[in-house]
Amino acid sequence: MTTNRPKTFSGVKPSGGLHLGNYLGAIKRWVDDQDRYDNVFCIVDLHAITVPQESAALRQQTREVAAFYLAAGLDPSRTTVFVQSHVSAHAELGWILNCVTPMGWLERMTQFKDKAAKEGDNRERISAGLFDYPILMAADILLYDANFVPVGDDQKQHVELTRDIAERVNRLHGGGRDILVVPQPLIADTGARIMGLADPTRKMSKSEDMPGQAIGIFDDPGDIRRAIMRATTDSDRTIAFDPNRPGVNNLLTIYQVLSGRSRDALEGQFAGKGYGDLKKEVATAVLDTLVPIQERCKALLAGPDLDEILRDGADRARQVANRTLDRVATAMGLR
Ligand code: TYM
């Protein structure tokens, strides 16, 4: 399925549970732009195990993320969908890139610094894999010659590292030509950083241990509505996009991405109305989107098609990935 369209690659970790931020910042955009690119989307289970996972839960969440991709609208006849660990070239290129990447580049990654800081001085609890995580991500992207990597704002630094690694491989081993494509992050103007509902100064994330902070994609509709109705706002009465008022700004942003309407139109719609009206509209928009997807997910998880689609996706991915791996391995004297 090769076309002349630019190539995209992206993925989601099957740990902690999918949340609305994953959908609005990444997966919805993959679906919306599906016809503009040649797409490869992955469920990155090898990234999930950088922190301890219970095996049955990991297996279940991997299938859930895959079902969600399809239920949200990715079409496996046009888009390759597969599980990272089913294609061994990811781990192999990851190792090779380990040997090309300076430690100092990894030490600058803010996501690792934040995660490590949560463990305090207890270095025994941080795996080498967590430190090395961005290199595996670089391998994911580079194996498919991706031109673009559609992600939320928090992954930008990792895609920039991927660019640095690709350029270094080309310089050190290309013998005057490019063996790896240097990718660009594709980050939306709206929705690339959805904030938590309870504490809108922090990014929405399932690992945050705060009730009402994240909307889980598979949460019960009643719980979703309640979390939105209880979202933290402020004492100002007007409804307007304003980064200094993170609660109302976030609710409007969620509504903007889901409705596809302009900021001016939304501010007009809510002129003279209260937070209760805004929250009701946001809850309805979120549920109108998520409930039908939840239904399709249930059917996919119960039926036989999902595993077949993932097997087929891995077969297609493997062919492309092995070619790139060979190219790099040959250039480095490993073939
Ligand atoms: P992950 O699994 O943490 O998140 C998946 C995608 O969701 C986006 N995202 C958000 N977008 C908006 N608002 C939020 N609050 C929010 N939270 C998460 C993320 O930016 C991401 O696009 N390292 C990656 C997975 C990965 C990957 C890759 C991505 C592995 N290999 C190769 C792209 C290309 C990660 O942990 O994403």
- Nearest-angstrom CA–CA distance, 10 and 297: 20
User: pLDDT tens, 167-188?
Assistant: 999 999 999 999 999 999 999 9
Range 68-76 average pLDDT? 98
* Contact call for residues 31 and 75 (beta carbons, < 8 A): no
- Give the helix ranges, DSSP H, for 119-155: 128-143
Token readout for 288 is 């109108």
What is this structure's pTM? 0.97
User: pLDDT tens, 128-168?
Assistant: 999 999 999 999 999 999 999 999 999 999 999 999 999 99
How many C-alpha atoms does 229 have within 13 Å on its Cβ side? 9
- Give the helix ranges, DSSP H, for 194-245: 221-229
pLDDT band (50, 70, 90) for residue 319? very high
User: pLDDT tens, 4-41?
Assistant: 899 999 999 999 899 999 999 999 999 999 999 999 99
Ligand 1 midpoint to CA 237 (Å): 34
Q: Which of 7, 28, 203, 279 is catalytic?
A: 203
Range 96-103 average pLDDT? 97
- Nearest-angstrom CA–CA distance, 91 and 311: 18
Q: Is the distance from the beta carbon of residue 44 to the nearest atom of ligand 1 less than 6 Å?
A: yes
Q: Is the distance from the beta carbon of residue 162 to the nearest atom of ligand 1 less than 6 Å?
A: no
Task: Give pLDDT, residue 106.
Answer: 97
Q: Is the distance from the beta carbon of residue 139 to the nearest atom of ligand 1 less than 6 Å?
A: no
Q: Three-state DSSP class for 38?
A: strand
How many Å from the N-terminal Cα to the C-terminal Cα in the chain?
28
pLDDT band (50, 70, 90) for residue 296? very high
Task: Give pLDDT, residue 1.
Answer: 55
- Nearest-angstrom CA–CA distance, 238 and 234: 10
Q: Is the distance from the beta carbon of residue 76 to the nearest atom of ligand 1 less than 6 Å?
A: no
Which residues are registered as beta bridge partners of 9?
A: 40
Ligand 1 midpoint to CA 187 (Å): 11
Is 80 exceeded by the pLDDT of residue 2? Answer: no
Is 90 exceeded by the pLDDT of residue 252? Answer: yes
115 belongs to the catalytic site: yes
Ligand 1 midpoint to CA 297 (Å): 20
